[in-house]
A and B are shown apart, each in its own frame.
Chain A
Amino acid sequence: MMIDPLTLSIFVPLFGAILTFVFPRVATVSALLAVLGTCGAVFVLALKILAAGEVLVPLGGWAPPLGITLRADGLSVAMLAMTALVGLLVSLGALESLRDLRQRQYFWPLWLLLLTGMNGVYLSTDLFNLYVMIEVIALGAVGLTVLSGTREAVRAGLEYMYASILGALLFLMGVGFIYLQIGRLDFAGLIAAEASGATSAALALMVVGLLLKTALFPLHFWLPAAHANATAPASALLSGLVVKAALYIFLRLSTYMPLPDETLVTLIGALGAGAVLWGGVQALRTERLKLLVAWSTVVQIGLIFIAFARAGQAGLTESWKAAAVLILAHGMAKAAMFLAAGRIKDEVGHDRIADLDKSEIRPTLAQFTFAIAAISLIGLPPSLGFIGKWSLMEGAMAAGYWHWVAVTMIGTLMSVAYFSRVFAGFLRFDRMRGELSEHKGWALADVAPLTLAAAAISLGLMAAPILSFIELGYPFGAAP
C-alpha cells in the first residue's frame, strides 16, 4: 500500500527523531536521510497539489469530527516546502559547525522533533491537534536554544520556556472555550459557527497566546536573547522557521474566524508598527552581530503583521498573500543570515560589530552571503522580500492606508541603517595591523547559507508562479 505524502511528511521526521536519539552513532546519517525523505514527501505532495488543488487524508480512516484529518493546499505546501528547503540546507550547514559531541548528539533528535511539529501544524485541520503540535515545537525549540550550554543560552532558553508555556496555556483555554461554545474543533466547524461574544473572547485568548509565541511586539521580550545565544544552525531554525508556525496558525484562524472588529485589525497593525520601530532602534543600538540579526526578526514579524492589517477586513485575501510571501522570504533570508553570522563568528572569533574591522581574517564568502540576505530583508529588488514589500505597499496604497505605507518606508530606511553598520565592519581596512590575505576563511560550510541567500534573492523573479501556487486549494477561503 502506498502511504500518502502528508502522513509521511509528519512521520518520517518523527521516526528520524527517535532513531537518532536511540542510535547516536548513526545520528548524522539517519537525520540527513530523514530530512531528505521529508523533502521527497513534500515534493510529491506539491505535485499532487498542482494537479488537484487540495488533498485531504483522514488519519486511520476516521472522519471528523471524531478522527483527525490532514489537509494540504497551496499555502500549506508552500510552508512545508520552505521548511524542507531551509531545513535541508541548515542541516548541511550544521554538519561543519557542530563540533561538540554533546551538541551533535542532541541537535539531530531535537531538530527532527521540531520538523515533525512544524509539518504537523501546516497539515492540521483542527484546533486541538494544533495545540499538541505547538507544544511539540516548543519543546524542540527550547532544547535547541540551550544546546550551546552557555549560561546566557540557558537563561534565554528558560525565559523562552516560560513564554512558551504561557502562550500554550492561553491557546488551550481559547480552544476549550471554542469547544464549549460550538461543540466542534475542526476548521469546518469554525467556518460554520456563528460569531458571538464568547467565540470572540476565545479567539482573543488564542490570538494572544499565538502572538506570544510568534513574538509580536510587545510580546517579543524573550526572542532576541534566545535567538542570539543559540548555536548558529539552531538560531537559523528558530528565527527562520519556528516563529512562522504560530504566525501560520494565526493566519489560518483569522481566515476562518475573521476578527470581529476593524479596530482590532488596526490594533494588530499598530503592534506590528511598534515592532518595526522598536526593533529597528534596538538593532541600531546593539553591539553584537547575532543580536542585531535577532532584532531584525522582531522587525520582520512586525512587518508581516502590518501586511495582515493593511487590507482591513475587506481585502483579507490580498493582504495574506503579501504576508505569506514575506513569511517565505524571511524564512530563507534569515536562516541564511544566521548561518552566515555564525560562520563569521567562527572565523573572526567574536561577533562584536564594532571590532569586526580590526580582524585580519575576513571570511568574504560569509560576508557576501550576509549582504545578499540583507538585501532580501531590506526588501530591495528583485528579492522575494521586495515582492512581499511591494504587495504590502500596493495594497495599502490602493486602499488609501497611507500610514502603513509610511511605516513600511521608515522600517526600510532603518533596516538599511542597521545593516550598513555591519557592512562598514566588513569593508573597513584601516584599523587592522597585519596583512590581509586573499579569499581567507572560505569553507564548505559557506555553501549552504549562500544557496539559501541566493534562493531568497532569485525566487523574487519567480514571484508570479509562487503566488499562484499559494492560492491553490483556496487557502484564503475565496473558494467559488
Chain B
Amino acid sequence: MTPDLIYGLTGIAVFAIGLVGALCAQDRLRRVLALKLCSVGAGFLLVVGAWRTPSAAPDPVPHALVITGIVVMVSATAVALALIRRLKSLEAEDDD
C-alpha cells in the first residue's frame, strides 16, 4: 500500500462516516457536525490528490478548491447553527 492510497481511502472513509451521520442522525447539531465531517473528508481527498512526488511543488488548484470549500462551509455552518438556535427558541415559545 502506497501512502497516497492510504490517505485517499482515509478521506473516503471520513466522508462516508459523515454521510451516514448526516442521513441517519436525529439530533440537529449532530447532523451539522456530520456534514462538517463530510467536508473534511472531501477536502482531505483533494489535498491528497494534489500531492506530487517530492521536489515537485504540489498542484495549487485543488488547494484553492479546498480553501474555497472551507470558506463556503464555514458560512453554511453559521447559517445552519443560527437556524437551529432560532428553531429552538421558537419551540420553547410554543411549549410555554
Which residues does A use to contact B, with CB under 8 Å? 128, 131-132, 135, 138-139, 142-143, 146, 150-151, 154-155, 157-158, 161-162, 164-166, 168-169, 172-173, 175-177, 179-180, 185
Whether the pair B31, A172 counts as a contact (CB closer than 8 A) is no
Cα of A60 to Cα of B16 in the assembled complex, Å: 40
Q: By CB atoms of chain A within 10 A, which of B45, B62, B68, B83 has the most? A: B83
Whether the pair B62, A176 counts as a contact (CB closer than 8 A) is yes
Chain A interface main SS type: helix
Contacts A132-B68, A158-B28: A180 and B87 contacting too (C-beta < 8 A)? Answer: no
Count of chain B residues with Cβ under 8 Å from any Cβ of A? 32
Cα of A300 to Cα of B69 in the assembled complex, Å: 32
Within the complex, what minimum Cβ distance (angstroms) separates A99 from chain B?
Answer: 20
Contacts A151-B87, A169-B35: A176 and B79 contacting too (C-beta < 8 A)? Answer: no
Residues in chain B near residue A154, CB distance under 8 A? 83, 86-87, 90
Residue of B nearest to A65 (CB): B61
B24 on interface, CB distance cutoff 8 Å: no
Whether the pair A162, B80 counts as a contact (CB closer than 8 A) is yes
Whether the pair A139, B65 counts as a contact (CB closer than 8 A) is no
Whether the pair B49, A176 counts as a contact (CB closer than 8 A) is yes
Cα of A445 to Cα of B17 in the assembled complex, Å: 49
Whether the pair A175, B15 counts as a contact (CB closer than 8 A) is no
Known: A150-B90, A158-B28, A185-B61. 17 other contacts (CB 8 A): A139-B76, A142-B83, A146-B86, A151-B90, A154-B86, A158-B87, A161-B76, A161-B79, A161-B80, A165-B39, A168-B72, A169-B39, A169-B69, A172-B42, A175-B65, A176-B42, A179-B65
Contact residues, B48-90 vs A (CB, 8 A): 49-50, 61-62, 65, 68-69, 72-73, 75-76, 79-80, 83-84, 86-87, 90
Whether the pair B83, A157 counts as a contact (CB closer than 8 A) is yes
Residues in chain A near residue B79, CB distance under 8 A? 139, 142-143, 161
- Contact check: which of B19, B42, B83 meets A161 at CB < 8 Å? B83
Residues in chain B near residue A180, CB distance under 8 A? 46, 49-50, 62
Residue of B nearest to A132 (CB): B68
Which residues does B use to contact A, with CB under 8 Å? 15, 19, 22, 28, 31-32, 35, 38-39, 42, 45-46, 49-50, 61-62, 65, 68-69, 72-73, 75-76, 79-80, 83-84, 86-87, 90-91, 94
Residues in chain B near residue A128, CB distance under 8 A? 65, 68
Residue of B nearest to A181 (CB): B49
Contacts A132-B68, A169-B35, A173-B15: A162 and B94 contacting too (C-beta < 8 A)? Answer: no
Cα of A158 to Cα of B76 in the assembled complex, Å: 11
Cα of A150 to Cα of B91 in the assembled complex, Å: 10
Whether the pair B38, A166 counts as a contact (CB closer than 8 A) is yes
* Closest A-B pairs by Cβ, 4 of them: A180-B49, A176-B46, A151-B90, A158-B83
Residues in chain A near residue B90, CB distance under 8 A? 150-151, 154
- Contact check: which of A135, A169, A176, A179 meets B38 at CB < 8 Å? A169
Residues in chain A near residue B38, CB distance under 8 A? 166, 169
Cα of A62 to Cα of B24 in the assembled complex, Å: 45
Whether the pair B76, A173 counts as a contact (CB closer than 8 A) is no
Whether the pair B42, A173 counts as a contact (CB closer than 8 A) is yes
Residues in chain A near residue B32, CB distance under 8 A? 162
Whether the pair B46, A151 counts as a contact (CB closer than 8 A) is no
Cα of A132 to Cα of B72 in the assembled complex, Å: 8
29 A-B pairs with C-beta separation under 8 A: A132-B68, A132-B72, A139-B79, A142-B83, A151-B90, A151-B94, A154-B87, A155-B87, A158-B28, A158-B80, A158-B84, A158-B87, A161-B76, A161-B83, A162-B35, A165-B80, A166-B22, A166-B38, A168-B72, A169-B35, A169-B39, A169-B42, A173-B42, A176-B49, A179-B61, A179-B62, A180-B46, A180-B62, A185-B61
Whether the pair A176, B65 counts as a contact (CB closer than 8 A) is yes
Whether the pair A162, B62 counts as a contact (CB closer than 8 A) is no
Cα of A256 to Cα of B86 in the assembled complex, Å: 43
Cα of A131 to Cα of B65 in the assembled complex, Å: 10
- Contact check: which of A139, A143, A172, A185 meets B69 at CB < 8 Å? A172
Cα of A172 to Cα of B84 in the assembled complex, Å: 25
Whether the pair A172, B83 counts as a contact (CB closer than 8 A) is no
Cα of A150 to Cα of B38 in the assembled complex, Å: 30
Residues in chain A near residue B28, CB distance under 8 A? 158
Within the complex, what minimum Cβ distance (angstroms) separates A27 from chain B?
Answer: 21
Whether the pair A138, B83 counts as a contact (CB closer than 8 A) is no
Within the complex, what minimum Cβ distance (angstroms) separates B59 from chain A?
Answer: 8
Cα of A164 to Cα of B22 in the assembled complex, Å: 12
Cα of A142 to Cα of B73 in the assembled complex, Å: 14
Whether the pair A176, B45 counts as a contact (CB closer than 8 A) is yes
Cα of A157 to Cα of B75 in the assembled complex, Å: 15
Cα of A279 to Cα of B57 in the assembled complex, Å: 52
Whether the pair A138, B76 counts as a contact (CB closer than 8 A) is yes
Cα of A231 to Cα of B87 in the assembled complex, Å: 17
Cα of A162 to Cα of B35 in the assembled complex, Å: 8
Whether the pair A172, B65 counts as a contact (CB closer than 8 A) is yes
